[in-house]
A and B are shown apart, each in its own frame.
Chain A
Amino acid sequence: DAGVTQSPTHLIKTRGQQVTLRCSPKSGHDTVSWYQQALGQGPQFIFQYYEEEERQRGNFPDRFSGHQFPNYSSELNVNALLLGDSALYLCASSLDRDFLYNEQFFGPGTRLTVL
């Protein structure tokens, strides 16, 4: 049973650049959520995608955008990178019909460093 996968594992970018992170959900899951985790903090919700649409968004600027494909995989795009965007970016998958419980399973994450 394939778990959540993310790519790349690590990325180094410079301020002002753009980055795209990718996620494939756990087999059988149809919903993807993205989180940002700064060092020493808990994950912070960025947004969630279901049926190829952004369903809910956390307190993140429009520089953060996403997409979900028909196969349920997802991308997170960040434009005009700032030093403060350096963090571990986590993708979590879940099953929409299980919304009452909303168990989310995380991928290994992408470590983004902005110089």
Chain B
Amino acid sequence: QKEVEQNSGPLSVPEGAIASLNCTYSDRVSQSFFWYRQYSGKSPELIMSIYSNGDKEDGRFTAQLNKASQYVSLLIRDSQPSDSATYLCAVNNSGDDKIIFGKGTRLHILP
């Protein structure tokens, strides 16, 4: 059974600080990795995709991938109250149609 594991939180971070969200996955052949943000009562919104080992930066967001450790993370710099949401880690295997999601980490930015 392919699994994606996340700490459910809540993770509380002061405004302006760096929020660090972590995710591990079980299937070594996983190829594509995604972070989705989901506000309460809304649908998931794709915020980052990463496919190669290392870091990928987009604005205040940095995704980090380590395939050897089967670990992917998301850093949010200069955290804002509007970043308060549930962050879903998702994993896909090349040629596989479905994306496997973790249960999400609730992030709370303290004003």
Q: B12-20, B45-53, B56-64, B71-79: which one contacts chain A? A: B45-53
Contact for A56 among B42, B98, B101, B103, CB less than 8 A: B98
- Give the chain B neighbours of A31 by CB distance below 8 A: 97
5 contacts between A and B (CB under 8 A): A41-B103, A99-B95, A102-B97, A103-B46, A106-B36
* A interface list, Cβ under 8 A from B: 31, 33, 40-45, 48, 55-56, 58, 88, 90, 92, 99-109
Q: Are B103 and A48 in contact (CB under 8 A)?
A: no
Q: Do B46 and A104 touch (CB < 8 A)? A: yes
Task: Report the bound CA distance from A48 to B42 in whole Å.
Answer: 22
Are the CB atoms of A106 and B45 closer together than 8 Å?
yes
Q: Are A108 and B43 in contact (CB under 8 A)?
A: yes
Q: Is B43 a contact partner of A56 (Cβ separation < 8 A)?
A: no
Nearest CB in chain A to that of B4: its residue: A42
